[in-house]
Amino acid sequence: MNRPKPAAPLLTLLPAMALVPVLIVTWTGLHGGGLSIWQQFLSGALHPSLDPDVLHAVWHGLGVTMATALLSWSLSLLFGVLLGSVCADVVWRSWSLPIWPATGLRRGLAIPRAVHELVWGLLLLQVFGLHPYVAVAAIAIPYSALVARIWRDHLDSADHRPLEALISAGVHPLSALMTALNPGMGAVLMSYGGYRLECALRSATLLGVFGLGGLGTELQLTLQSLQFRELWTGLWVLAAVMLLLEQLLRLWRKRSGVGVHGQRRMLLFGTLAIVLGVIGTFWLRLIVPDQFSGLSWIGLEVPSWTQLNLAATELPWYPMILETLGLTVLAAGIAIGLPPVALLLWPSPRWHQCCSIFWACMRWIPPPLMVLLLLLSNRPSLAIGALAIGLHNSGVMGRLLLEGLQQQSGQRQDALRAIGSSERISWLYGLLSPQSPSYLAYGAYRSDVILRETVVVGVIGGSGLGWQLLESLSSFHWAAVVLVLCCYCALTISGEALSDRCRSLWLQS
Amino acid sequence: MTNPLTRVRKKGAVVLLALLCSQGATVLPANAQATLRIGAIPDQNPERLNRRYGQLASELSDSLKVPVRYVPVSNYPAAVSAFRTGSLDLVWFGGLTGIQARLQTPGAQVLAQRAIDAKFNSVFIANTSAGLQPIRSIDGLKSLKGKRFTFGSESSTSGRLMPQHFLAQAGVTPKQFAGGQAGFSGSHDATIALVQSGSYQAGAVSEPVWNVAVKNGKVDPSKVKVIWKTPPFGNYHWVVRPNLDQRFGKGFTTKLQKAILGLTPANERQKTILELFAAKRFISAQDSQYQPIEEVGRQLGKIR
């Protein structure tokens, strides 16, 4: 007898419950004291600074950010696909090898993924100094691991029957894999790979740490000094670039073909990724020429066992982990639950367009800015942090959901409508329901990202893992840094195991 | 027999491989002329930082006859690490970051400071609705217990380290604030804005930043006021790496120090630089001036 399990669309909507406690706390803490600064912020949008110095700095910063994003994106796709293929069970099975190395590698890859780009940057900076490639590696390392995970999941969940047929017919495993899995994986690569470019741009923006003077440095410093007019100059430029990139990617995706045509496009995409990477490299060299001295390793004292033990007794483990988990769960709930609920409220194309614009804004506003804006009219609380991170990520999730929905044929919805279901119900069961499993899978990946992003909300008061990490880094207390990073890794790995279990329990029939 | 697709694929594979290899060529080290790289902790808006250090770089380049470049860094620990790893040669550090940098870089020297840096102050500010009275003696800081309180940046001497030290002297720890912790606004300006809005009831900021904010009309005196001014402590200073004489020629460090100490309001460009630093002149400084901050840093765990 089958165990009862919740319906797929319910699982998609349920996380929105996180909004209830968050909104209650936010509502009770609301005050009007920050209105004047909000006003300054908003008027800055209409009058961004057009000072030549500011424009020049933003232009230069944009170049650095774009070049970094392109190069790190190209590298992360390359390594991600390679690593992802190596840790897929199906690849090892094709050669009739045991699959435990794949499982081991997969677990190992959780480590680079668990550490935020910002922290990777600071760590690499310790051993390589200020170098443009440090910024590139800081993005490429966690992103490769992320692409690897997605690639592997798609490889292992693809339809393996053609592959088995080919292998049992005596075809060489490599040829069999290429022939059987290429078409499907090509589509994944193109849609997901394009989306990673946007993520890389966002990350390159967030990373201003590297003395390269990227757009992120401009945004962060203007924000810290509350120079809203100058902040808006950078924000508008960022908006223009993001919009342009999204439109280009949409155009690309719309024209993706099938069969021979599709194969060619895939090859073209691969070439494009590498060409853009090369362009990024030269671009970086052009903008920051005198920083390209050779990379050299500068040693760092590794904390001893006694130091680690001492640090372990000093750290406030219980509140630290609890706060981080609370923040992550609430933020992930908002990020995953908000988009479907918002779309369900009023399933009409015009409303969905409004939602899509709102989400673009959420993606565009960097989380530190969002936290500060929320905090100006609210008391500091965990809810503010969760709301800020949740809203930012709901922008990403919302876009993924809308895109998935648009790619579906509306036959089920039409059928439900024809038998007299209401607009909302037919949307829910006809469109959202088939889309749910893949949406929830992306949600699980996003929760990973959210866990890492808890680093950026120290302003609400420090006791979470993220704040502790920044505090230890700024005290150069390496023993504590090591322990906190281990803690992040452990949380990421267990979160992943949990989400895998849940998915196999509830979503696979 | 080869069909067109296979041919396309083969060609494509060759092109891909060629491009891939060409990426490796770009990693070759570039021809590097010795450049003096100056940096600073990011405690101002970027436009001001760029003007300040851009001007200084051209001035030093002219007087020392070596290429000088300003390398912006966007957070405090990154500035310290960049200095340690040799990516920055001359850095304008705060009190705490300067000590961290010197402890991590044996042989690094203090070159100069401003007159104001020998006797630097922080102010505690409070929202008028919080009901906090002006504080007469350090014990008065006890009235901050149970209030929502924010520091500035984690590594700031005037926005965090010394205020936390004075609070500790009065027997107040961050655990005793509302919510069981203090906030970290990230910057002095953000602290002022957040206390003025009432989200935090009180906070600690650097006195010069507060004065500038008051002068520029960014402070609403009916909403936020100063409740206490801390005793003086040492702050900002120029720190230089030990190996400059080897890289730029004998006696370079001394020449550099002379160039900085010799900046005078009589010269037009030097006057602008000094104005951007809010200083009349740079004066020489000794390591020993920063001893008290080092002790406080150790007590509070910011120096290991």
Does any CB of chain B come closer than 8 Å to the CB of residue A79?
Answer: no
Per-residue pLDDT, B30:
41
Q: A509 pLDDT band (50/70/90 cuts)?
A: very low
Q: Is A206 exposed, middle or buried (0-12, 13-18, 19+ CB in 10 A)?
A: buried
Task: With beta carbons less than 8 A apart as the criterion, state whether A492 and A113 touch.
Answer: yes
Cα A464 to the center of its chain, rounded Å: 20
Please list, in sequence order, all residues whose beta carbon lies within 8 angstroms of the beta carbon of residue A237, skipping any fewer than 6 positions away.
A58, A59, A62, A215
Chain B closest-CA separation from residue A381 CA (Å): 8
Query: Hey, how many other C-beta atoms are within 10 angstroms of the C-beta on B227?
Result: 19
Give the range among A18-27, A126-135, A287-296, A297-306 with minimum mean pLDDT: A287-296
Q: Please report the sign of the dihedral spanned by the C-alpha atoms of residue A147, residue A150, residue A154, residue A155.
A: positive
Residue B24 has pLDDT above 50, yes or no: no
- Which of the two residues, A186 and A383, has the higher pLDDT score? A383
Q: What is the C-alpha to C-alpha distance for residues B192 and A120, in angstroms, rounded to an integer?
A: 31
Select from A225, A231, A291 the least CA-distant residue to A57: A231
Residues making up chain A, counted from first to last: 509
The answer to whether residue A289 scores a pLDDT higher than 90 is: no
Tokens read off for B65: 């006859």
Rounded to 5 degrees, what angle do the CA atoms B276, B280, B281 make? 100
Mean of pLDDT values over A456-479: 80
Cα B238 to Cα A175: distance, rounded to the nearest angstrom: 63
pLDDT of residue A148: 92
Q: What is the ipTM of this complex?
A: 0.84
What integer pLDDT is reported at residue A123 of this predicted model? 85
B23 has pLDDT over 60: no
CATH superfamily, domain A14-40+307-506, is MetI-like (1.10.3720.10)
User: Does A222 contact B80 at a Cβ distance shorter than 8 Å?
Assistant: no
Instruction: Please list the residues that pair with A70 across neighbouring strands.
Output: none
Candidates 3.40.190.10, 3.90.79.10, 3.20.20.70, 2.40.170.20; CATH matching B122-229: 3.40.190.10
The reported pLDDT for the residue numbered B22 is 53
pLDDT per position as a tens digit, A107-147: 888 888 888 888 888 888 888 887 778 888 988 999 999 89
Between A205-214, A278-287, B76-85, the lowest mean confidence (pLDDT) is in A205-214
Q: What angle do CA B225, B231, B235 make, to 5 degrees?
A: 100
Eight-class DSSP state of B72: -
* Cβ atoms A387, A374 nearer than 8 A: yes
B179 → closest Cβ in A128, A376, A461: A461
As beta bridge partners, residue B205 has B123
Which residues 109-138 of chain B have a CB within 8 Å of chain A?
127
More confident residue, A296 or A346: A346
Query: Which class would CATH give B36-115+235-288?
Result: alpha beta
Q: What is the mean pLDDT of chain A?
A: 85
Does residue A210 carry a pLDDT above 60? no
Nearest Cα neighbor of A293 from B144, B68, B165, B34 is B34
Strand order in the sheet with B68-70: B68-70, B36-40, B90-93, B237-240, B109-114, B282-283
Nearest CA in chain A to B177: A461
Structure confidence by residue, pLDDT tens digits, A487-498:
988 998 888 888
Q: How far apart are CA B195 and CA B201, in angstroms?
A: 6
CB pairs under 8 A between A and B: 215
Q: What is the pLDDT of residue A258?
A: 56
Distance CA A207, CA A66 (A): 12
Q: Residue A420, by phi and psi: left (phi above 0), alpha (psi -120 to 50) or beta?
A: left
pLDDT in tens, A472-483: 988 999 999 999
**A228: Cα within 13 Å, side-chain hemisphere:** 18
DSSP B230: P
Least confident of A165-169, A297-301, A312-316, A400-404: A297-301
Nearest to B76 by CA among B56, B96, B61: B96
| CA-based R_g, chain A, Å | 23
Burial A445-481 (b: 16+ CB within 10 A, else e): bbbbbbbbbbbbbbbbbbbbbbbbbbbbbbbbbbbbb
Cβ atoms of B204 and B163 closer than 8 Å: yes
Say if residues A14 and A337 touch (Cβ distance below 8 Å): yes
Percentage of the residues of chain A whose pLDDT score is greater than 70: 92
Of A107-121, A284-298, A400-414, give the lowest mean pLDDT range. A284-298
What would the mean pLDDT of A412-425 be, rounded to a whole number?
86
Helix (H) or strand (E) segment spanning residue B80? helix B76-84
Lowest mean pLDDT among A31-35, A256-260, A361-365, B193-197: A256-260
Are the Cβ atoms of B82 and A470 closer than 8 angstroms? no
Q: How confident is the model at residue B25 (pLDDT cuts 50, 70, 90)?
A: very low
Average pLDDT, chain B: 88
**Which member of A31, A282, A460 has the closest CB to residue B183?**
A460
Domains A14-40+307-506 and A49-291 share a fold: yes
**In this structure, are residues A301 and A84 in contact, taking their beta carbons and an 8 Å threshold?**
no
Task: Name which of A213-217, A306-310, A382-386, B69-73 the model is least confident about.
Answer: A213-217
Q: In whole angstroms, what is the distance from residue A96 CA to residue A337 CA? A: 42
CATH topology of domain A49-291: MetI-like fold (1.10.3720)
Q: What is the pLDDT of residues A71-86, one digit of tens each?
A: 999 999 999 999 999 9
Of B15, B75, B199, the CB nearest to A378: B199
Shortest CA distance from B12: residue in chain A: A267
Nearest alpha-carbon partner for A471 in B77, B172, B101: B77
Residue B26's pLDDT is 46
Q: What mean pLDDT do residues B265-290 have?
A: 92
Nearest 10 degrees: CA dihedral of A236, A242, A248, A250? -120
CB-based contact (8 Å) between A265 and chain B? no
Residue of B nearest to A292 (CA): B30
Structure confidence at residue A260 (pLDDT): 60
Residue A170 has pLDDT above 80, yes or no: yes
A267-283 per-residue burial string, b: 16 or more CB within 10 A, e: under 16 = bebbeebbbbbbebbeb
pLDDT at A256: 60
Mean predicted confidence (pLDDT) in B104-109: 93
Tokens of B164: 């936390």
Residues of chain B with CATH 3.40.190.10: 36-115+235-288, 122-229
Q: d(Cα A315, Cα A272) in Å, to the nearest integer?
A: 47
Asked if residue A261 has pLDDT above 80, the reply is no
- Domain ranges in chain A? 14-40+307-506, 49-291
As a whole number of angstroms, the longest Cα–Cα distance in chain B is 95
Confidence of residue A435 (pLDDT cuts 50, 70, 90): confident
- pLDDT digit string, tens, across residues B116-170: 999 999 999 999 999 999 999 999 999 999 999 999 988 999 999 999 999 999 9
The pLDDT of residue B28: 42
Q: Is the pLDDT of residue A353 over 80?
A: yes
d(CA A452, CA A496): 13
Find the Cα–Cα–Cα–Cα dihedral B191, B196, B198, B200, rounded to 10°: 20
Two structure tokens written together for B281: 């002149």
**Beta strand B237-240 with B109-114: parallel, antiparallel or unpaired?**
antiparallel
Q: How many CB atoms lie within 10 A of CB A128?
A: 18
What is the enclosing helix (H) or strand (E) of B114? strand B109-114
- A380 vs B contacts (CB less than 8 Å): 148, 150, 179, 183, 199-200
| CB spacing of A33 vs B8 below 8 angstroms | no
Residue B253 has pLDDT above 60, yes or no: yes
Q: How confident is the model at residue A329 (pLDDT cuts 50, 70, 90)?
A: very high
- Contact partners, residue B165, CB within 8 Å, separation at least 6: B296, B299, B300
Query: Which one, of B134, B109, B88, lies nearest residue B284 by Cα?
Result: B109
Q: What is the 3-state secondary structure (H, E, C) of A54-110?
A: HHHHHHHHHHHHHHHHHHHHHHHHHHHHHHHHHCCHHHHHHCCCCCHHHHHHHHHHH
Burial class (CB in 10 A: 0-12, 13-18, 19+), B48: middle
Residue B191 contacts residue B127 (beta carbons within 8 Å): no
Q: Which of A122, A270, A467 sits opposite B16 (nearest CB)?
A: A270
For residues A310-321, average pLDDT: 89
Which residues from A are below 8 Å from B182, CB to CB?
461-462
